[in-house]
Structure 1
Amino acid sequence: MSWESEIKELRQREELARRMGGEERVSKHKSFGKLTVRERIDCLLDDGTFHESGAIAGKAKYDDDGQLIDFTPANFILGTGRVNGRKVVVGGDDFTVRGGAADGAIYGKQVYAERLAHDLQIPIIRLVDGTGGGGSVKTLDSSGYTYIPVNPAWDLVVSNMERVPVVAACMGSVAGLGAARVAASHFSVMIEDTSQLFVAGPPVVKYGMGQDLTKEELGGIQVHRSSGAVDNIAGSEEDAFEQIRTFLSYLPSNIWKLPPVVQGDDTPTRREEKLLSIIPKNRRAPYKIRELLPLLFDQGSVFEMGRYFGGGTVTCFARLDGYPVGVLAPDPYVNGGGLTAESSEKLERFVDLCQTFHLPIVNLVDQPGMVIGLPSEKKGTIRKGVRAISAVYQANVPMVEIIMRRVFGVGGAGISNRHGLNQRYAWPSGDWGSLPVEGGVQVAYRRELEASENPEALLNELLERMEAVRSPFRTAEAFGVEEMIDPRDTRPLLCEWVKDAYELLPQQLGPSQHGMRP
């Protein structure tokens, strides 16, 4: 006697599950240029590392003798595997089975995926391709009753944000709970031409709101490239997987571990001559921040998140002599680099992300302050800005400040916590104060200018007098800035600083004083 027949049945069921929604539906799915969920998992993970759980879960039919006559696998596949050698949980929707909708799912599988990540304390990657919500109203015919909505495993979804890296990819038309699963992550990515994301899809929007829109018009990348609902856009599924692998490479597996240090071939003492002239002498002239970043950080190590949302603030990961860091920087080409409502939200979330996973922060400062004017007031920019400043002040990860140019107003004052040990270096291009001299003079001397017979000449005289006073060397004389440096010395100083920062991190491991939210 043996269990050979049962093992044979197990293998048969596994083979049926690997067929997913069947040849016809798989072919239709691939005709849109999409990989199947199993192909996606194989493409994402290190070769041969996927170990599936719940492979034979699904909906089965039996004959009168109890023999299996039909089997439809659950439309959610989960398991563990490795990314760059580190263990992760991966869960993916199978659109070939009921379009990824909940009425084709076995809810316990999604719950188990979140529980695996939570209890094993390893990252989770969600490959979302469907609604994942309540399914079609047609299910009411079979159930015979309605229900109060509940989001499966949402207690674990929220808790995971506070303890392990959570990544989500929008792989197709994703609505409702599926869209929420994408948004409830530390890093999310959409794919050009094949991804759409919405709270409710076009038919529901047309009926409920009277808006007749295509999927692309309602939730394509032209909508979400700058909406803030997702972080990045990928040109293909393969590009999305590469971005996921790159994102995870900067983070520890959980909040109780240090970020991984990699050995690179860039020298920490590299001094770039371009830094001497990259900031224009003309204070109103912008410069290209994305050309500046590689001059400071390890070659090829800069990974940007959310470029087109709150574009005046740049948030990215990078490495210094192999050590991962978070980077805050300005983009003077967008609102002069000032804080808008959107860029404040972006800054707040990124600082919280670095705080959660104990990444030291390099703050490259050229901050003219919060963007002013009626449109900014209507968006409640001051409250959003204060939330961003609060995130900076609540963070206790090591932070270093490089003042490249401007520091003005509430936004400039709050971009770094200057009430503790503020390791700060300033370039000779530094320019700071409550207001820029050009505008401040006209406000401060308004009466004198109005009373002057030659206001233009008086204004020029005042500006000329102030020009010497605004010199950063005057501030350094009063120890108002700790150290003025040659910009070319910035990378060597940062590479020295980051080693000190990582010596402090073991004392900070574990949960942050406030939980991370999406």
Structure 2
Amino acid sequence: MSKKSKDRLQHIANHLNPNKKDEALEKSEWKDAILEIRRRQTQNRTPDITDRGYIRQKTTGKLWVRERIEGFLDTGSFREIGSVAGNAKYKADGTVESYTAANFICGKGTVSQRDVIVAADDFAIRGGHADGAVWGKSLYAEQLARKLKVPMVRLIDGSSGGGSVTLILDKGATYLPPLFGMHDMIASLSEIPVVAAALGPAVGLGAARATLTHFSVVSSDIGSLFAAGPPIVANATYETVSKEELGGALIHTSNGTFDNLASTETECFQQIHQFLSYMPTNNFNLPPYQVTDDPVDRCDDELLDIIPKRRQRMYQVRDILTRVVDKGSLFEIGSRWGDGAVCALARMNGYVVGIITFDCTLKGSVISAASCHKFRRHIDLCDTFGIPIINFADYAGFAVGTVAEKEATIRYGSTLTAALYQCDVPYFSVVLRKVFGVAGAAFVDNRVPNMRIAWPSGDWGSLPLEGGIYAAYRRELDAAGEKRNEMYEKIMSQFEAVRSPLRTAEIFDMPEIIDPRDTRPILCEWVKMMYDHVLPQRLEKTKIHGPRILYRP
């Protein structure tokens, strides 16, 4: 064994056994400095079980910040950056009088052997406030993730960047509030996966850090988010509210502020792991392939009758998705909001795909303003990271009525339509049932050529036939008096004769009407072709011309 190798082993041994005398260090002129570094690192990495902040952290059921990092990352993979950063006071002779660690920890680690940058708030120190964070660490972490082109993970607990009025007294003056690092945080959204978990209160800039992401999850037992906390709200609006009432996890997963809800911190980590497993390291790489033993030609007989022939009856679209995609691969995003819009990531024959569809049991497949927001966000995610989109179409059109008009549904519907037409990832539509109006057209007619198939349950047109008859034959129906229903049924029977999707296939407006059981084999073949032939060319354009500004949170 070489001397260099022996020295390296000795160094590791000394590290593992700090009580063993380090003879080389004892002789070094830098002994005192190195010992001070080690002392601070040891202090920062060892919980003080008598500290009020640590006690508060544990009694509220929360993990300590370093327990979080250890629980989130692969074992032993964390390489801390800024391990001795903190607030120190010195005596006149230059010796340390007191030292408090920064309440923000960052560094590099791995998740499933893939590199990430992780940044975590320590609420045990000054309640996570910025004046204890050494703000340069947060800025550095964001810049480093962007420079290395690896995912950015934020474990948020505290105001996470918001200031404190006590700073004014310390500085002797007020100051214009800065947004250090915002440029990099926003630019990263078009380059690398950015995720966050709310493991406590996310306030002010912390709320921005939680929502300027591609995926966010909140722990239902401890997480919350608000622009300002209850004391400031009480002064501004005279409302007396608790943190839970103001911005609890249930509130913000039902309005789309957070994507997903988790029951514990550990489940938050698991959901982030799963999300990252579908993401490329950056948008200069293809999404990661994963070997599967689920046969490409698997055909599920349950698909034959999963959609009732009577159009007024509902069905569960998620039962279709789980029977078509690779088993166990469906990962839904934002299930608690969006008025029936369903967005997910999944795999087909091991390849990552994005899923958009609609839960017809909610709102009857009618697209609201909230649905538009949710669909647009997911389309932008897939477009940013080169993930092919599979659209399981069942859209009755945009919502109508006074509520829909007040919510500016058409305005947001136009934004959604623009997103569908602007994105350039491969896109395939499987028409399950309804495709009506501008909304339906936007979802199935946004490519040249349009790649689409339909099930025998397909039903489409400029507007739903039932309502269209009342509009087109209003005068005749009103004149029919008591025979109104009889006339309506007579007119409807005439249209039923030409309503069959086979008629549409005859004129090649729908390329294929398929046996529902063939959906998986067809999609698996299409997805593989996209990864083999189309996505690599798209990636080359990105490498030559750079990423487009794609993602808008």
Global fold match (TM > 0.5): yes
CA distance in 2, matches of 1:21, 1:306: 38
1:140 to 164, 168, 172: 168
Task: Kindly indicate whether residue 180 of structure 2 is the aligned counterpart of residue 152 of structure 1.
Answer: yes
CA distance in 1, matches of 2:445, 2:377: 17
1:498 maps to what in 2?
A: 527
Q: Is the alpha carbon distance of 1:21 and 1:121 closer, same or farther for their aligned partners in structure 2, counting shifts above 3 Å?
A: farther
CA distance in 1, matches of 2:521, 2:207: 43
Q: CA deviation at 1:22?
A: 6.4
Give runs of aligned pairs for residues 20-39 of structure 1, distance below 5 A. Answer: 23-24=50-51, 25-39=53-67
- Per-residue deviation, residues 117-143 of structure 1 (Å, max 9, x unmatched): 010000000011111234221221111
Give runs of aligned pairs for residues 250-399 of structure 1, distance below 5 A. Answer: 250-399=278-427
Task: Kindly indicate whether residue 551 of structure 2 is the aligned counterpart of residue 516 of structure 1.
Answer: yes
AA aligned opposite 1:239: E
Task: Kindly indicate whether residue 485 of structure 2 is the aligned counterpart of residue 456 of structure 1.
Answer: yes
AA aligned opposite 1:262: Q
CA distance in 2, matches of 1:428, 1:289: 16
CA distance in 1, matches of 2:131, 2:309: 63
Q: CA deviation at 1:69?
A: 2.5
Q: Which runs of 5+ in 1 are unaligned?
A: none
Q: CA deviation at 1:230?
A: 0.8
Contact 1:89/1:117, CA 8 A, preserved across alignment: yes
Contact 1:316/1:326, CA 8 A, preserved across alignment: yes
Q: Is the alpha carbon distance of 1:83 and 1:295 closer, same or farther for their aligned partners in structure 2, counting shifts above 3 Å?
A: same
CA distance in 2, matches of 1:68, 1:220: 42
Residue 168 of structure 1 aligns to a residue whose secondary structure is strand
CA distance in 2, matches of 1:161, 1:22: 39
Task: Kindly indicate whether residue 37 of structure 2 is the aligned counterpart of residue 10 of structure 1.
Answer: yes
Contact 2:356/2:392, CA 8 A, preserved across alignment: yes
Q: Which range is displaced more, 134-143 or 214-223?
A: 134-143
CA distance in 2, matches of 1:515, 1:447: 49
Q: CA deviation at 1:437?
A: 1.2
Bigger radius of gyration: 2
Q: Which range is displaced more, 443-452 or 415-424?
A: 415-424
1:413 to 441, 463, 473: 441
- Name the TM-score, length of structure 2 as normaliser: 0.92
- Per-residue deviation, residues 67-105 of structure 1 (Å, max 9, x unmatched): 113110111000000011100000000001110001111
CA distance in 2, matches of 1:286, 1:81: 46
CA distance in 2, matches of 1:338, 1:307: 17
AA aligned opposite 1:506: P
2:242 to 194, 207, 214: 214
CA distance in 2, matches of 1:259, 1:53: 28
1:507 maps to what in 2?
A: 537
2:17 maps to what in 1?
A: none
Q: Which range is displaced more, 423-432 or 24-33?
A: 24-33
Residue 552 of structure 2 aligns to a residue whose secondary structure is coil
Residue 444 of structure 2 aligns to a residue whose secondary structure is coil
Residue 415 of structure 1 aligns to a residue whose secondary structure is helix
Q: Which range is displaced more, 12-21 or 30-39?
A: 12-21
CA RMSD of aligned residues (A): 1.2
Count of matched residue positions in the alignment of Structure 1 and Structure 2: 518
CA distance in 1, matches of 2:319, 2:60: 37
CA distance in 2, matches of 1:56, 1:22: 20
2:266 maps to what in 1?
A: 238
Contact 2:129/2:160, CA 8 A, preserved across alignment: yes
2:501 maps to what in 1?
A: 472
- Name the TM-score, length of structure 1 as normaliser: 0.98
Contact 2:135/2:161, CA 8 A, preserved across alignment: no
CA distance in 2, matches of 1:320, 1:140: 56
Q: Which runs of 5+ in 2 are unaligned?
A: 1-26
- Structure 1 runs (4+) deviating above 4 angstroms are none
Q: CA deviation at 1:312?
A: 1.2
Give runs of aligned pairs for residues 90-101 of structure 1, distance below 5 A. Answer: 90-101=118-129
- Per-residue deviation, residues 253-274 of structure 1 (Å, max 9, x unmatched): 0000000000011111100001
Q: CA deviation at 1:419?
A: 4.5
Residue 469 of structure 1 aligns to a residue whose secondary structure is coil
Q: CA deviation at 1:435?
A: 1.2
Q: CA deviation at 1:64?
A: 2.2
AA aligned opposite 1:516: Y
2:201 maps to what in 1?
A: 173
Contact 2:383/2:550, CA 8 A, preserved across alignment: no
- Per-residue deviation, residues 140-161 of structure 1 (Å, max 9, x unmatched): 1111111111111000001100
AA aligned opposite 2:552: R
